[in-house]
Structure 1
Amino acid sequence: MLFPKRMKDLTILVHKDYTQKVVDSLQDGGVVEIDSVDRDEDVKELIEEKNIPEIITDFTDYEMRLSSIIDIFERIEEEGETSIKEFLNPPEPEKIEREKKPLDDLFDEVDNLLEENGKEIKELNSELTEIKDKIKDLKEKEKALKIIIDIDIELSSLGESTFSVLRLGKTKNPTKLKSALEELESAFFSKTGKTEEEYLVLTGAYLGEKEEYERALREGDFRPLKLEELKGDPKEALARVKRGLKKLRERRDSLVDDLREYKEDWEKKYQVLREELNIYRDKKEIVQNFGSTDTTSVIKAWAEEDDVEKVEDVISDCAKGHAEIVDEEPVDPDEVPISLENPKPIKPFELLTKMFAPPRYDEVDPTIIVGPAFVLFFGLMLGDFIYGLILAVGAIVMIKGPGKVEEGIKNFGWILFATGLSTIFFGLIQGGYMGPGRDDYHNLIGRFGIETPALLETLEGDGPLILLIISLVIGITYINIGLVLQLIQHIKRKNYKRIILENTSWWLLQPAAFILIAPMMVEDFTFTSTVNYAAYALGAVGLILLALRAKGLSFFELTGFLGDFLSFSRILALGLATAGIGLTVNVITDLVAGADVGMLIVWPLLAIGTIVALYGHIKKKSNKMTGVGGALIILGAMGFADPSYPFFVLALLVFFAGHMINLALQGLGSFVHSLRLQYVEFFGYFFEGGGKEFEPFKFERKHTKLKTKEEMTK
């Protein structure tokens, strides 16, 4: 568990007549990573030059043709609205049973499918794209016409005529534009109106001065309105544009419906065929990594030590004795792909290690330490029962929903669930239930008259000091766990000199520093003179060893160690921040709920609500604005029954909104700072990363599954 799984370097020799069967079996088995023979110089000298199979070009062509149709189907799906239910509980992909068939038959099946409906689907999509462009163009014209709706102008006169050029547009600085146009002999300038921030301007010039005219417009920050090909006055043109938009939208919806029908009937078929083509393509492309002689194919591969026997059995069965396998211990750790080995509860936390970097083959895998430590740090930092409950419930939704189809989301969900449980546990200890328990300003549980006893009061008495001591004890313990892992790593690599200079120096300096510094900080805490002399001796030896390793940088090594140690005080800082902001929200909630201004609140709420609702309705801004106005009116009306009711509702909003913001900010902070303690303070003592993950030669079937021999027989 402390190191990646042991790997074997395999050299597979197989007669050329059986090469493809071996490739098929290795892909089905999915336990070896096939590498290029070029990495083995001894093998490389004996083999012929590799050639790229011509059939790869055919695969690329067929895949592109299938993908172009699948992309159309996916774009149609994006245009539809995805419900929250579908997002939280996505359907698992249906797998179609397929028989293994020859490649030529698969190519024929693809050709037949594309011939059957591929052309029609592309034509529909092409027309849909064209209509969308037209709708976009007309919407821009509609927007421009609404701006000039009250201007009396014949739109067909805009643009270029036999003798002149006429433009209608907007500018923020009409004075600058007018000044630029005055340099032209034939140019004219007329302000025709004003929008919220810009002026509407009609300008023109003699056609012979077109270049100078266009330059003057650019200098004057003039932006022409999109009014090409329009006729009549703005009102007539706007009516025609709206009719055109209606027809185009109807045709667009009809095309989308047609494409959706094709999608429902044929998308799975296209996905199935593309998946099967990709499986065949992988088998053909992997051959490029092989070496060969006149009669033999040479395959270099990696396999986990426990799977070597399985690989031998697979190859023996399909090659009928015409193959030989040589397994060797890896020589260069940097070349070896790594496969992590951790207990099932720790497995999701491999995500955190890999976010930094996968370990190298001869390097400690810290996941089994990082997982529990990350959960511990997060819980101490957030430390609120209700917050933890929300995180745990959210994690379950994530695991049971999107996590069904996405492994990464599932792993993150389990991490979030563990941190939620930790937050619940430390929330119980610290008495945090949407803020700390106080007699004057209650948290959520306290508002129901329930006492929330706490073993550790985060904001009161000696609570902060105790939490600081806990944080620093955790810190020095965790740093020393890092030093132990460094020791194990040095032993594995036989770096005995570094054990003496690195590990021994710190393990001498730490007890010496404690013996000498503790009496200065804690009254009546003393050691005998013999112990003190021993501490001086240990410290001196530790400093000498440190100086031998770090030379002139030994001072910075000491300050760096001290900085790592003190950095764990961020556990206290985040814990105080969570509790402090939670308490602040509770104080503000009580102040709002207890406000006593009588009927003074009622009329302003009614007035503001009415104004907002009317503005949203008249300007057609949005239903949300009208809804907000309506809510304010209802809130004001409640004040007629009792002036305290509006404040009670506002207090509820402040309470829950404030705590949700606190959860979001402090949850993110706890996640980031817990990671920082791993990546900077912990990993800095032993872990570098830079390994390459083990990628077995296999294909993850998402849309297909092979029929068993029994099913094919039936």
Structure 2
Amino acid sequence: MSKVSVTGSKRVIDDVIEAAYDTHSLHVTDYDERYEGFAPGESLEGAETVNERLVTVRSLESVLDVEGDEVDAARALDDEVLERELADVRESVNELDDRRDELRAEIRDREEEIDRMEPFADLGIELDLLRGYDSLEVVVGEAKPDAVEATLANADGIDAYEVFAGSDVVAVFARPADGAEAGVLQDSLVGVDIALLEVPDAETSPAEYVAELERECEDLRADLESVEADLAATKEEAAAFLLRAEEQLTIEAQKKEAPLSFATTENAFIAEGWIPTDAYPDFEAAIADAVGDHAEVEELERASFTPGGDHHTEAVDHGGDGDTGSEPADASDATAEREAATDGGHAPHGDDEPPVVQDNGSAAGPFELLVQGFGRPKYSEFDPTLLVFLTFPLMFGFMIGDVGYGVLYAAIGYFLYSRYDGTFRELGAVAMWAGGFTILFGIYFGIDLFGYHAYQLLPGEIHWPVDGKGLSPADIDWALSFLVASVLFGLVHLNVGHTLSFVSNYQQHDLKHALYEGGSWLLILNGAWLWIFSQHVPGPKPDFLFESFSILTFGAVSFAGFPVAVGYAAIAAILAGIILLAIGEPPELAEVLSPIVNVISYARIMAVLLAKGGMALAVNLLAFGAYIDESGEGSFHFIFSAEHLAHVQETPSEELVFAGMTTAFDPAAIGAVGVVALVGGILVAVVGHVVVLALGITSAGIQAVRLEYVEFFGNFYSGGGDTYLPFGYDRKYTTEDN
């Protein structure tokens, strides 16, 4: 990427903007007030009018619910036609929209009035009988009649009363005692739970009044449907025009507001930005063709990637035939270095980073979404998208490890991927990868199908290398082995992160900085864990640390720990790392134990694996029950009926684990209790597994993302890069011949 400046007379600023816009390659940076005597520019003449029209067009699109598929082909749109037709469409749509709002408001008023009248219709008393008395007080409200009568029976100031009740409403007529103050009836009901209702001012009966209001609502709804139909017809006629108008006005607004990012004086302007180095000659030629020598284009600074990781420096010579060493603005490579252009002897201006384009291909590309959730990579940073692509689905699949859930995750992902664009499409792709790995690990764990080992249902003696997730008595050793596997994965993951930190510091600084920043942590990390897996001081170290290797490799690898000599070498590595850290980064000595703590943090992978497996198992136990068969190996098996349950309970060699709901169903003697139990068990199974499916996203997904962001990215990655947004517009509905 090259940072360029365009300096010229304000008399040609319009032509320069047009030329730069047409090249669609310059990423304009905002003026940062570093030039003395310059100030931020102002919008070009006519910008306010263009923006007003653009707001109008977008408002009309919102009213008509215009989307982007109502245009058959792109074509030119004349400015005069745009202005004239926009006025016609605005007048028509606004009139219909105002009428629609009026009708909706009237319908809402009628519905509120109906709601207000329904209690009186339920009461069944004429409205004129509920008001207008001199010697009686009347109260209508929603309350329980018994509570009202009990309160009035002991009330002072009331000689007599009568209570009339509907289903949810009461009307109370009371004669105040001589000398009682006005409102004594309401005062007497203060302690009653009653919602007072105002008697409507209507001459007809409540039922007739409600019926009349409902007829009016029907008429208003018919009028509303007519207006909606007119709006739909207007949309069909005007949608293509509005989309073309929006695009054309958006382009005009961008051009007229471009000077807001420029540095300007009364007579001159300076525009700066980043451009792909190989596009610089075409950009320079386009400006020259547009304004000749009234503007000067200069390359101020160059940032070029070195894919192999080595520093690469070239002089900038636009006048010769030599290679410019151009590289795309792509953050997928390792580092970037910046150099001053030498053709004009101009020193670099500003300290803004070059913009970034992430290009990781169709497979890893959707995982850019997860990286950008932390922060887009800077131009000088390694883009970790490929590493996230390789590790996130792996961690997610291992934590869930179930064929049934994996199929559902993949199906949900495919639905999002095929139905939506943008973020939802990328999430769908991530979900499909995660679902695929969940299926693979589900097969690895013994063809786990919604928490149950499906291979146990197959006929014959079938040996499976991994018997579950460590939840049943037969495979408890696997649970401990998965703990070791999680830690080893974390060790490898963090080694990659610290290695990238070492390489980055070496490329951007020198070997000394690389040793202080990355090498020290590599020595401490690997030294600590080599010592843990060594036979030096073996007493505190649990046996499963070493036995797990044989279990995980199905007996192919027998590991008793590294020799004592390796343990001593590991201690020396730890001390060397601490010394390097103390010399280069003394404040970080406070975190000297983080390599151990961060690796142990990966134990959450095993924890989520057991938690999700345990939840699925609990759902199955509640619904179907389980027992341990006569082999005594501790594997769980479903109980399918009451008869099967009785057989398990009567067989001494078989151990009942839990009698589920469906075991109350007996196919030989179908009864109401059995049917309810069967339906309830199936409902528990379905709802329970849906909950586990959802929690898999919020637990396994969040934990995997956390390990990427905190433990992994924290070693080498900061993010904060800018997206490459070239000045220009990709036309879809209009052509340039406007």
TM-score (norm 1): 0.75
CA offset digits 1:577-616 (Å, max 9, x no partner): 3333333333444349834499xxxxxxxxxxxxxxxxxx
User: What is the SS of the residue equivalent to 1:302?
Assistant: strand
Distance 1:333 1:353, change over 3 A: farther
Match of 1:45 among 30, 36, 41: 36
Taking the aligned partners of 1:233 and 1:575, their CA distance within structure 2 comes to 68
Distance 1:526 1:336, change over 3 A: closer
Match of 1:513 among 501, 521, 528: 528
Taking the aligned partners of 1:60 and 1:203, their CA distance within structure 2 comes to 67
Q: More helix by proportion, 1 or 2?
A: 1
The aligned residue for residue 327 of structure 1 is: 299
The aligned residue for residue 573 of structure 2 is: 538
8 Å CA contact 1:593, 1:644 repeated in 2: no
Paired residue type of 2:490: G
* Larger deviation, residues 130-139 vs 457-466: 457-466
TM-score (norm 2): 0.73
Paired residue type of 1:575: L
The aligned residue for residue 30 of structure 1 is: 24
User: What is the SS of the residue equivalent to 1:580?
Assistant: helix
The aligned residue for residue 94 of structure 1 is: 71
Larger RCO of the pair (alpha carbons < 8 Å, separation 6+): 1
Alpha-carbon shift at residue 672 of structure 1 (Å): 0.9
The yes-or-no answer on 1:558 pairing with 2:558 is no
Taking the aligned partners of 1:201 and 1:119, their CA distance within structure 2 comes to 55
Alpha-carbon shift at residue 136 of structure 1 (Å): 1.7
Alpha-carbon shift at residue 286 of structure 1 (Å): 0.8
Match of 1:337 among 355, 366, 373: 355
- 1:157-556 → structure 2 map (5 Å cutoff): 168-170=140-142, 193=165, 223-225=195-197, 228-292=200-264, 296-320=268-292, 322-329=294-301, 334-403=352-421, 407-438=422-453, 443=454, 454-457=464-467, 458-459=469-470, 460-494=475-509, 498-518=513-533, 519=535, 520=538, 521=541, 522=543, 525=560, 531-547=566-582, 551=586, 554=589, 556=590
Alpha-carbon shift at residue 433 of structure 1 (Å): 4.0
The aligned residue for residue 323 of structure 2 is: none
User: What is the SS of the residue equivalent to 1:476?
Assistant: helix
Match of 1:20 among 14, 23, 36: 14
- Paired residues, number: 630
Paired residue type of 1:569: A
User: What is the SS of the residue equivalent to 2:491?
Assistant: helix
The yes-or-no answer on 1:706 pairing with 2:735 is yes
Distance 1:374 1:536, change over 3 A: closer
CA offset digits 1:366-390 (Å, max 9, x no partner): 2221221112111111222232222
Paired residue type of 1:97: A
Taking the aligned partners of 2:85 and 2:132, their CA distance within structure 1 comes to 51
Taking the aligned partners of 1:278 and 1:200, their CA distance within structure 2 comes to 64
Taking the aligned partners of 1:217 and 1:324, their CA distance within structure 2 comes to 88
The aligned residue for residue 87 of structure 1 is: none
Q: CA RMSD in A?
A: 4.5
8 Å CA contact 1:381, 1:572 repeated in 2: yes
8 Å CA contact 2:521, 2:595 repeated in 1: no
Distance 1:257 1:699, change over 3 A: same
8 Å CA contact 1:14, 1:323 repeated in 2: yes
Alpha-carbon shift at residue 278 of structure 1 (Å): 1.5
Taking the aligned partners of 1:9 and 1:212, their CA distance within structure 2 comes to 85
8 Å CA contact 2:138, 2:172 repeated in 1: no
User: What is the SS of the residue equivalent to 1:338?
Assistant: coil
CA offset digits 1:228-254 (Å, max 9, x no partner): 554433222222222222222222222
* Larger deviation, residues 514-523 vs 123-132: 514-523
8 Å CA contact 1:362, 1:492 repeated in 2: no
The yes-or-no answer on 1:663 pairing with 2:693 is yes
Alpha-carbon shift at residue 472 of structure 1 (Å): 0.8
The aligned residue for residue 71 of structure 1 is: 62
Match of 1:578 among 612, 619, 622: 612
Taking the aligned partners of 1:159 and 1:337, their CA distance within structure 2 comes to 76
Distance 1:461 1:32, change over 3 A: same
Taking the aligned partners of 2:598 and 2:256, their CA distance within structure 1 comes to 52
Paired residue type of 2:20: L
Distance 1:379 1:340, change over 3 A: same
Distance 1:177 1:388, change over 3 A: same
Distance 1:312 1:388, change over 3 A: farther
- 1:644-663 → structure 2 map (5 Å cutoff): 652-663=682-693
- 1:98-117 → structure 2 map (5 Å cutoff): 98-99=75-76, 105-106=78-79, 108-117=80-89
Taking the aligned partners of 1:653 and 1:27, their CA distance within structure 2 comes to 61
Paired residue type of 2:618: T
Taking the aligned partners of 2:233 and 2:675, their CA distance within structure 1 comes to 53
* Larger deviation, residues 574-583 vs 524-533: 524-533
CA offset digits 1:491-529 (Å, max 9, x no partner): 233175553334333233234334543322257946666
Distance 1:274 1:543, change over 3 A: closer
* Larger deviation, residues 374-383 vs 109-118: 109-118
Taking the aligned partners of 2:155 and 2:678, their CA distance within structure 1 comes to 67
The yes-or-no answer on 1:687 pairing with 2:722 is no
Alpha-carbon shift at residue 18 of structure 1 (Å): 4.6
User: What is the SS of the residue equivalent to 1:97?
Assistant: coil
Identity across the alignment (%): 24
8 Å CA contact 2:498, 2:518 repeated in 1: yes
Alpha-carbon shift at residue 168 of structure 1 (Å): 4.0
8 Å CA contact 1:169, 1:202 repeated in 2: no
User: What is the SS of the residue equivalent to 1:361?
Assistant: coil
Taking the aligned partners of 2:516 and 2:431, their CA distance within structure 1 comes to 40
Distance 1:587 1:453, change over 3 A: farther
Distance 1:664 1:158, change over 3 A: same
User: What is the SS of the residue equivalent to 2:725?
Assistant: coil
Paired residue type of 1:585: V
Paired residue type of 2:299: D
Higher Cα Rg: structure 1 or 2? 2
8 Å CA contact 2:396, 2:701 repeated in 1: yes
Taking the aligned partners of 1:10 and 1:225, their CA distance within structure 2 comes to 74
User: What is the SS of the residue equivalent to 2:41?
Assistant: coil
Match of 1:118 among 90, 93, 103: 90
Alpha-carbon shift at residue 133 of structure 1 (Å): 1.6
Taking the aligned partners of 1:23 and 1:187, their CA distance within structure 2 comes to 90
Distance 1:494 1:252, change over 3 A: same
Taking the aligned partners of 1:143 and 1:316, their CA distance within structure 2 comes to 73
